[in-house]
Amino acid sequence: MRDPLLDEWHPIAASEELPEGGALPASLLGQEIVLWRGDRGVHAWPDLCLHRGARLSRGKVARNCLRCPYHGWTYSEEGQCIAIPAHPGVHPPQRAHLLPFPARERYGMVWISLGCPSGDPPPFPEWEDGSLAKTRCGPYRVNASAPRLLENFLDVAHLPIAHEGILGDPSRPEIPAYRVERRPEGGWIAADIPVWQPDPDGSSRAQTVTYTYEILRPLAARFRKTGEGKRYGILAAVHPIGLRESAFWMWNFWDPQQGVRPEEIRAHQERIFAQDRPIVESQRPELLPLDLQAELHLPSDRLAIAYRRWLAELGVGFGTG
Ligand code: FES
Ligand code: CO
């Protein structure tokens, strides 16, 4: 069965990471990729020159072409070799043509697919909402499988324990029953889970707030917090670099009236992720078990159960066991 992750969009690099006049190496689902920018936008190709297999990402971009660093084969934006320096009079053969991967820029990121994506990258309507402040956090590189990372993002019961004092209070760890439902657009939603929010800075913000999680795609989810009369949320997407290597990206949005600066949000997320990283890297088995008999589950794990069932239903094999 073809892994549906091949036909997904994956966030692979921040737009500003693409060097002027150069290329950027990247890896997606174990496939080595070269990214570069031409007049027509960002291009993503296998990072392999068709002549002797040198890495094209070590090459240079000039006159809207990518030039191999070894013998200078020069590839046009279409992926066609159009010049071979050692044979200036020779027209390069038609089969000297690299097959491009679909590439798009959204939310300040380059998104790539290795197959035929049916739609767009995960929806993020807040990105276009001028009344909201936004910042991108990450990438957080982690030695863990991508589904393990997304499941961690969806895990509500770890907040008062692993993020004691920041996202929860260990003396109030109880997770009330919540429902998980299918979203009409696909994926799953767990709406309005009451969560006790501690008061880290003594400004008496301790109160019950509600969290809503939506699983949008096999490796993308959305989080919203309500209850303080303010809007706050996250779009999260995991970049599956290799089987046990991933990068986590998040876009946070909030009401600017809160007076929170983007650097503060990023520092907050970094602090939280530093607590998650060693735990997720320690989880065994490394590949997320989709057989529900393999681990023990409780009502507070309902969203994780729905996630695992859904991955199994979709036939996601990469990063799962
Ligand atoms: Fe790229 Fe020879 S290996 S030009
Ligand atoms: Co966490």
Q: What is the ipTM of this complex?
A: 0.97
54 ligand 1 Cβ < 6 A = yes
pLDDT digits (tens, 9 = 90+) for 164-212: 999 999 999 999 999 999 999 999 999 999 999 887 666 667 888 999 9
89 Cα to the center of ligand 1, angstroms: 17
Least confident of 177-191, 192-206, 216-230, 295-309: 192-206
Cis amide prior to 139 (ω within 30 degrees): yes
Round the average pLDDT of the chain to a whole number and report it.
Answer: 96
pLDDT digits (tens, 9 = 90+) for 70-127: 999 999 999 999 999 999 999 999 999 999 999 999 999 999 999 999 999 999 999 9
Q: How many CB atoms lie within 10 A of CB 205?
A: 12
Q: Residue 226 — pLDDT band, cuts 50, 70, 90?
A: confident
Map out the domains of the chain with their CATH numbers: 4-112 (2.102.10.10), 125-314 (3.90.380.10)
Q: Is 220 exposed, middle or buried (0-12, 13-18, 19+ CB in 10 A)?
A: buried
309 ligand 1 Cβ < 6 A = no
23 Cα to the center of ligand 2, angstroms: 34
6 Cα to the center of ligand 1, angstroms: 28
Using the atom order of ligand 1, give the atom closest to the CA of residue 52: 3
Share of the chain above pLDDT 70, in %: 98
pLDDT score, position 227: 78
Helix (H) or strand (E) run with residue 152 in it = helix 146-153
Cis amide prior to 285 (ω within 30 degrees): yes
73 ligand 1 Cβ < 6 A = yes
pLDDT score, position 228: 75
pLDDT score, position 152: 98
Ligand nearest to the CA of 162: 2
Pick from 48, 56, 60, 73 the residue to mutate for probing ligand 1's pocket: most ligand atoms within 8 Å of its CB. 73
305 ligand 1 Cβ < 6 A = no
Rounded distance between C-alpha atoms, residue 141 and residue 135, angstroms: 18
Taking residues 225-242, report their average pLDDT.
92
Q: What is the pTM of this model?
A: 0.96
171 Cα to the center of ligand 2, angstroms: 18
- Alpha carbon dihedral 186, 190, 191, 196, in 10-degree steps, equals -150
Share of the chain above pLDDT 90, in %: 93
Evaluate if residue 45 carries a pLDDT over 80: yes
pLDDT score, position 52: 98
Rounded distance between C-alpha atoms, residue 110 and residue 193, angstroms: 33
Specify the residue with its C-alpha closest to ligand 1, atom 4: 71
Taking residues 225-229, report their average pLDDT.
82
Pick from 34, 51, 58 the residue to mutate for probing ligand 1's pocket: most ligand atoms within 8 Å of its CB. 51
Taking residues 154-162, report their average pLDDT.
97
Can you tell me whether residue 161 is helix, strand or coil?
A: helix
Handedness of CA 2, 282, 141, 308 (dihedral sign): positive
pLDDT score, position 204: 65
pLDDT score, position 76: 98
For residue 165, the cross-strand partners are none
Buried b (16+ CB within 10 A) or exposed e, 86-98: eeeeeebeeebeb
pLDDT score, position 304: 98
pLDDT score, position 198: 87
